[in-house]
Chain A
């Protein structure tokens, strides 16, 4: 399958400041791709360059094989949902959705009918006559989504659209957006700094940091096989342990804090003596009173226990390395703050990061 959206070597500089550096990315038709990264990482700048509101200093943007780099925003046929929805306050919901059709010369009778149908699709049947200020945040969001989709755009761009919603509504909207995106099959770029949002919604996550793409991969790959320490620490909770490969043939690394650690695999060729970072996710570490047979064991002094009811986070120290362990709520009773206990894991849960 050839790629549908193609970013090639996009660079953006403001004076001496480089906001984006050689960003290249291919997105398939119908794919849901999330740009994830901290603020200032370049994810929104990339989105604005795709939309045409920012001009790239270098590089090209192609959609369906044709370059759109030279087109003005209104010529690009791209639907955008802005962070604050940007609904027109002087138009009712259905008139907002009709707007892009009106701009394309669709007659009022036909366009309003189409707009009503789109509102039904996003679950707002019967709300068309209301003005934006008479709608809740979630409803405004749906109107903005309907407006960005009604003209069958070649791309849908979502710029942190869920940021202003409360937690329950946000989860509901995540499912809604995903459902609508699937039913229309529209190629979608979703920008967020919320990693759980990225994990739950995307076909693929692109992690941005300091104007570069750190990694672009499926959510579970990003989670289990992060290519850089930044990705590992930004996505999910992580224990990052500095270590040295001591024997690549035996798949063993040596860490000052944990002693020798076996690992199952790595994505890169490792050499003896190479400095690496070992990733062990907190939920892959088991907590026990005594060492467990068949697992790699270490000792940890418990410092803090944070209870969440169904699970708990145990924070402690093994040597001079801080460790975080996720345990089931019921298991946490065996341990108290200040005590020493055993932590253990299997080689499968150790992933070697070389960068």
Chain B
């Protein structure tokens, strides 16, 4: 009896690793190894030195692009929150069918290909697009340039990232015990004070989760800012692509990628210390 039991537990120890193996091997070959390669290149291309990092960390252009990237990510996060919080509230507090409908609309944009969504914005905001036509119709003689501006790239990024925010906040709102709200009401809370002292703190974990997720994804955004944004206000991923594709500066591009990676990891670490990373994914 004792022997068979210990055999069983031995087997049980191996099982998780066995199940993990396919993904582990895949990640090793297609993620860890290339990433290590990038890390090595950042120190060795074109010759072994710290010159790439010196350039990335002290060069005015790179500093400006990094700052711009972080500010854009922060702004996009704020916009997602402003759009997502009321929508999540509506979803969490409406009838099941209405909630399903909103959920469907939110996730439908999620299922659509990334590129299709980005190109759709190009059509909508372009000089011959419906929005400009509308502005002309209501009497704006010289409509502003919409496409290839910070406005267009921000709008598209908010559109793409808002579902992450909405789903995170929605899942937290959905779990709030209605008795807590009732109890707050019975204790004299109403309207704004009820929201500020009870509802908002209770939904704060969802806000934190959604914000970190949106911010971190936004930091590394490539396609949307490149295709829709102003060339003068690049984000870091676009600049990396630029360096590698056009100047073949593999070392410099790699160094920028590593700085971005480290910055992202620092944010996630701070978040983990505060809230626990496991909560980020629901």
Contacts and interface: CB of A to CB of B under 8 A. Distances in A.
A151 B188 contact: yes
Given A82-B183, A99-B197, 6 more contacts: A53-B186, A74-B185, A74-B190, A82-B179, A88-B198, A103-B188
Interface string B166-195: 000000000001011011111111100110
B177 A53 contact: no
Interface string A54-82: 00000000000000000011101111101
Nearest to B181: A86
7 contacts: A73-B186, A74-B190, A80-B183, A86-B180, A88-B201, A100-B187, A151-B188
Interface residues of A, number: 27
Contact of A99 (B182, B187, B190): B187
A89 interface: yes
A355 interface: no
Given A53-B182, A84-B177, A90 B187 contact: no
Interface residues of B, number: 19
A219 B194 CA distance: 40
A51 interface: yes
A86 B185 CA distance: 12
B185 A73 contact: yes
B65 interface: no
B202 interface: yes
Interface of A: 51-53, 72-74, 76-80, 82-84, 86, 88-91, 99-100, 102-104, 147-148, 151
Nearest to B194: A74
Query: Which DSSP category, helix, strand, loop or mixed, fits chain A's interface?
Result: loop
Q: Which 5 A-B pairs have the closest CB atoms?
A: A103-B188, A86-B183, A100-B187, A86-B179, A90-B201
Contacts of A89: 202
A104 B190 contact: no
B202 A90 contact: yes
A52 B190 CA distance: 13
A148 B187 CA distance: 7
A102 to B, nearest CB: 7
A80 B186 contact: yes
Given A86-B180, A90-B202, A78 B186 contact: yes
A4 B169 CA distance: 45
Interface in B133-174: none
A88 B176 CA distance: 11
A74 B189 contact: yes
B158 to A, nearest CB: 29
